[in-house]
Amino acid sequence: MRYSAVLFSALVAVLVSGVFAQAPRVQPEILDSVAHDPAHFTQGLFFDGKQLVESTGLYGKSGIYRYATPGGAVLDSSRLEERYFGEGSVAVGNDVFYLTWKSKKAFIFSRKPFAKKGAFRIPTEGWGLTYWRDALLMSNGSAELLQIALGAFNVVGIFTVTDGGKPVERLNELEVVDGKLYANIWQTPLIAVIDLPSGKVLKYLDFSQKAKGIEAKYPNADVLNGIAYDGKFLWITGKNWPWIYKVAVPK
């Protein structure tokens, strides 16, 4: 759902007051922007080589898309059945794993071309997904990250993300960047930069100015969500945002 300007301001005020914002907040260095389909309710974003892959949500509209480049032509796509609400995704080996929200199911697609080839059960809601230390790493809207073994797909580890000793809730889209975990925090303009395996937040990227500008100009735009790393730069977007932003990796 969209958050109102009042709710947006209140959330930012709460974060600034230190409820879970003891770690420093840094302003992102935005280098460029490219077009993003504003009809896409972005849930997952990652690079597969030089190609960008996006998974989207909402019932009846969930699918996975491969782009030649960020903002480039769609090379491949596949849709979920209408009863599934798609969430985060990641490629590992020859497979792409694609979470669902409340169905407690994750789908397995072939990497190229996208074709559904299987599924497995997940123990909670699915939100964000990435790959770390030979396992899937999944968020579920809480402060916990579940480490899921490939093949058996059982939970082999649980990490709690904290800032100043307090749990950081509503972890959403995930991306591993140079050994650190980047996580959108749902309904906020913040991306947490997290040490693994300690789970401690090192800093926040604060996209509040960009998010407020998008919301003011594009009434159908929803929250910041979507982090991809091409090996040099971050690519950041939001649900139903018209742009993907090229962002420098913070030092």
C-alpha pair distances (Å), 204 with each of 106, 125, 185 = 29, 25, 10
Question: Is residue 157 in some structural domain?
Answer: yes
In whole angstroms, give the CA distance from residue 30 to residue 246: 6
Which run of H or E residues covers position 237? strand 233-238
Tell me which residues of the chain have a pLDDT lower than 70: 1-21
Check if the beta carbon of residue 241 is closer than 8 Å to that of residue 19.
no
The predicted pLDDT at position 17 comes to: 42
Report the mean per-residue pLDDT for the chain: 93
Helix axes 5-17 and 208-217, enclosed angle (nearest 10): 170
The domain spanning residue 190 has which CATH number?
2.120.10.30
Please, is 72 exposed, middle or buried when counting C-beta atoms within 10 Å of its C-beta (0-12, 13-18, 19+)?
A: middle
Contacting residues for 213 by C-beta, under 8 A, at least 6 apart: none
Q: Which structural domain, as residue segments, surrounds residue 199?
A: 5-246
Check if the beta carbon of residue 42 is closer than 8 Å to that of residue 61.
no
In whole angstroms, give the CA distance from residue 217 to residue 172: 25
Calculate the CA 216 to chain-centre distance. 23
Place of tokens 């800093």: 203
The predicted pLDDT at position 6 comes to: 47
What domain count does the chain have?
Answer: 1
The predicted pLDDT at position 16 comes to: 42
121-160: pLDDT as tens digits? 999 999 999 999 999 999 999 999 999 999 999 999 999 9
The predicted pLDDT at position 251 comes to: 85
Question: Is residue 251 in some structural domain?
Answer: no
The predicted pLDDT at position 219 comes to: 87
The predicted pLDDT at position 3 comes to: 44
The predicted pLDDT at position 7 comes to: 52
In whole angstroms, give the CA distance from residue 154 to residue 174: 19
Using the CB atoms, write b or e for 91-128: b if 16+ within 10 Å: beeebbbbbbbebeebbbbebeebebeeeeebeebbbb
The predicted pLDDT at position 2 comes to: 43
